[in-house]
Amino acid sequence: EGEVQKLSEFESKLNDIVVKQGVSTDQFMQLVQENKSVSEDMRKNLQALIVREVISAVLKVDKDGDCVLDNSEIERLILRLQHLNGVEINDSVKLRRLLTTSKSLSGAVAIAKSLIIEDEESCGITTNVDQVREAMKR
């Protein structure tokens, strides 16, 4: 019952604020939904930026251009990924194992692709959009 009272008070205060701003509650709710949609689009764009940076890192480490990642290139890739804004390596052992197993650029790009479809757990790395947002503010 106390929660209902608090919600009722909150609703009343929110309604007062909305009225003072000269908009209806329905208009306010529409603006909230629009803001939510814009925020989600921004999150997706930032995530795409992170994935682009991961793919760029993959391409840069293949110094000999043979489209096969040798052990030193894999280690350089992991180092690059550790220093990318928005990339968090949760399981370096799993990531190293995945890269070592495929040893191909396409395998490394598949890891980046898993970030796009938000299957981050399968590759041992995750994206952190908030970290990129903060870095962009600086």
Q: What is the pLDDT of residue 118?
A: 59
* DSSP labels, 60-89: HH-TT-SSB--HHHHHHHHHHHHTSTTEEE
Per-residue pLDDT of the chain (138 residues; tens, 9 = 90+): 678 888 888 888 888 888 888 888 788 888 889 999 999 998 888 888 888 888 899 889 988 888 888 889 989 988 998 898 888 887 788 888 878 888 887 888 777 777 666 555 556 667 777 877 787 777
E-assigned strands of the chain?
87-89, 125-127
